[in-house]
Amino acid sequence: MQQHYVIGDVHGEYEMLLALVKKLPSDAKLLFVGDLVNRGKRGREVMKFVREHAHGVVKGNHEGYMQVQAEQFFLMLESCASNELDKLYRFVGGSPTLQPYNLLQRRHDEPHCFDINREGVEQLREDLAWIEMLPLCIELGTLPNYPLPVVITHGNIGDYWHLKDENPKDFEFYAVGNRLTPSKESPIFNIYGHISVECVIKEENFVCIDTGCGKHHHAKLSAYCIETKEVVDVAR
């Protein structure tokens, strides 16, 4: 039987992701809790990996940050004269979500002048369109050995599950950003990331899977098997 593994926040750490995947069954179905990008330098490659293999993923708050920064980039690009791209270069240099796209390139003959990297800009647009379509949750329904319907989100949504139909805007706010631990009254079994913990936390009605990848040097990247409840980790 094919096994499903939920992978915690990757945050651009592509090498750690590949190392983790090597430890999982070759036919495993991978599901991601979001925050594929930012902090690490290879967020573009992480997204490419997830997209090309059609892995399941929900939107995290750092995908939202990427959307905001990219919007600022394109607004600045529209208003920048060709001889003012150095200002835009500094903006991109301060954004870990945009750096991997190499959006502006120095001219070899004029090191203080820049050209727009059309390939990078186009790839950024494609990735933004993909992010726009990401769901806020993946509902797996009732599963053996789980007391409640299983739902994957980025932030803990257990105590706010009722907002899914009642108030979609507030539901998104909690689904990507809530940091509170679920109460025992939560109507779902929630597998989520967003809250950095030293080791995966497994409780009666939730699993917190973010073990700090990309956030500090000695952090781990973790995967949780839905069928066996096994945890697989890699560290630097």
**In 10 A of CB 199, how many CB atoms?**
12
Q: Which pLDDT tens digit goes with each residue over 69-96?
A: 999 999 988 888 777 788 888 888 888 8
Per-residue pLDDT tens over the stretch 123-146: 999 999 999 999 999 999 999 999
Report the CATH number of the 4-60+136-235 domain: 3.60.21.10
- pLDDT value, residue 6: 98
Amino acid identity of 152? Answer: I
Are 214 and 234 in contact by the 8 Å Cβ rule? The answer is no
Is pLDDT of 105 > 80? yes
- Buried/exposed 179-193: b ≥16 CB within 10 Å, e otherwise: eeebeeebebbbbbb
Instruction: Record the pTM.
Output: 0.94
| Residue pLDDT, tens place only, 32-55 | 999 999 999 999 999 999 999 999
pLDDT of residue 216 exceeding 90: no
> For 157-210, what is each residue's pLDDT tens digit?
999 999 999 999 999 999 999 999 999 999 999 999 999 999 999 999 999 999
User: Residue 163: its pLDDT value, please?
Assistant: 97
Sign of CA dihedral 87, 90, 94, 100: positive
Structure tokens of 43?
């967020």
Helix 61-79 and helix 168-177: axis angle, to 10°? 100
Half-sphere exposure of 52 (CA within 13 A, CB side): 6
> Count of CB atoms within 10 A of residue 24's CB?
16
Percentage of residues of the chain with pLDDT beyond 70? 100
Could you state, in order of their start, the residue ranges of all structural domains in the chain?
Answer: 4-60+136-235, 63-131
Beta bridge partners of 212: 220
Q: Is the pLDDT of residue 222 over 90?
A: yes
Residue 185 CB partners (closer than 8 Å, separation 6+): 159
Q: Mean pLDDT in the chain?
A: 94
